Structure 1
């Protein structure tokens, strides 16, 4: 109970964030090695699997470089909004951290859903989905603008009075929870867990290209958001991973910039400005269907 009732300083919150990031990455690497051994035993450890995994961690490195450039500005926006526009000032306690985690998870659900619903957001998020594999390394597969969109969905928490350091901690916890969901090693968990929480089974569905799995299970920690807002699907058949069309590359630079390279090409070759607007604002499914219709008309 001391954690819930105690008052924390910003430095203590920052220390918790650094500790969690460092040690969780070590844990994730350990789990990834176990997964590699499992695939080796099953004779599924291929050259493509290795190349894809290396590319995943390489995109993490590229993303960290971008964060080093924009991180101070990102934090500065939160601090400015908190200092000038908050409606109240919530203390730095365990209770406010728990409340912030729940609200940050809800914000993440809508951010994640937004990224799937328009071309500009999908261009960065498609990087995460473009791997044909599903393992811990995929959790670290980042796109170049992954830092940008959380800003708009989590800023309301600063207006509500949550200190930015608590918001950043909540964001980290939501992301770290999801890291362990990227695995085929863990099958379905006991029903109470599957009912309330996001699980590897639920997240495999989210990465599926199967028709019934498309645009489902956006949750971070709590799967209840998907059940409340009508985007839940249960894992019932084997999942096919990747995107349409498949990227078919393990080149880290191609992987990292693939989404915006494709979007730029589509915008350049678009027949008119109305079509360009639709490419930016409509779902990637719309763009794919338009291309399929064009190919059919040519035949």
Structure 2
């Protein structure tokens, strides 16, 4: 148990974050190649699958460009809050890192749930859900504002006294864990794992367009959050992926901006300012329901 109380430096935490982030991308790319070979072996490899996968990695590049433009501001906000408003001083140890990962995962659950329940937030998150395929590359399918919303959900950790480098490390670990969930190769894992952790089976449900699966399984690492807060669904019926309406494009720029292009078009065509405001704050299902009513 002494290991969990060993003091660490900020440089140690930063090095660990960079190591995980960079090397895991290499591992993910290797797994992606294996998946593509599996599709080819099963004669399921298509031009659309290849184009969609390439588009996913290009959206990652566009997203990283956006992150580079705001990185100093994003990091600065965390350090400003930590330096001026933290309520306690938590040491840099493996124990605090472990606690921060659990709390960051809980924060991610609520951030993810918000992204599905707010029109403006969904416009960026819909990009991630828009692929009709499900493989490792989909984990890297990003929207233009994906960097923005985590700020509000992870910032309370700085108030609690977690050093920003620990928070950033926890963010990376939560995201890295989920990358491996984007696969059809792994079916279901042993029950104890399925009961506690998010798994490919659980995450396939989250990406589904099937009615019984909508807005389910928001978890990052621990599926227990969905079980606790009533948003869990078990994978039973065959999963169908994508969003409505489908993008029907593998152009990475079309994909990357598709959510806000659609939202902007809805705002322009909206009958009133009240309607526009609701488009921004209500769940995307609300806009769909209004469209159906107008057709009746």
Residue aligning to 2:164: 164
CA distance in 2, matches of 1:2, 1:8: 13
TM-score, scaled to structure 2: 0.99
Q: CA deviation at 1:120?
A: 0.4
Residue aligning to 2:92: 92
Residue aligning to 1:129: 129
CA distance in 1, matches of 2:22, 2:271: 48
Residue aligning to 1:47: 47
CA distance in 2, matches of 1:280, 1:37: 42
Is 2:20 the partner of 1:23? no
Q: CA deviation at 1:2?
A: 5.5
TM-score, scaled to structure 1: 0.98
Q: CA deviation at 1:188?
A: 0.4
Residue aligning to 1:268: 268
Gaps of 5+ in 2: none
- Aligned pair count reads 296
Q: CA deviation at 1:289?
A: 1.6
Residue aligning to 1:195: 195
Residue aligning to 1:70: 70
CA distance in 2, matches of 1:3, 1:56: 39
Residue aligning to 2:115: 115
CA distance in 2, matches of 1:155, 1:110: 13
Residue aligning to 1:286: 286
CA distance in 1, matches of 2:37, 2:276: 46
Residue aligning to 1:148: 148
- 1:123-163: per-residue Cα shift (whole Å, max 9, x none)? 00000000000000000000000000000000000000000
- 95-104 vs 285-294, which moves further: 285-294
CA distance in 1, matches of 2:6, 2:74: 28
SS in 2 for 1:216: coil
Give the ranges of 4+ consecutive aligned residues of structure 1 lying more than 2 Å apart after TM superposition. Answer: none
Residue aligning to 1:36: 36
Residue aligning to 1:243: 243
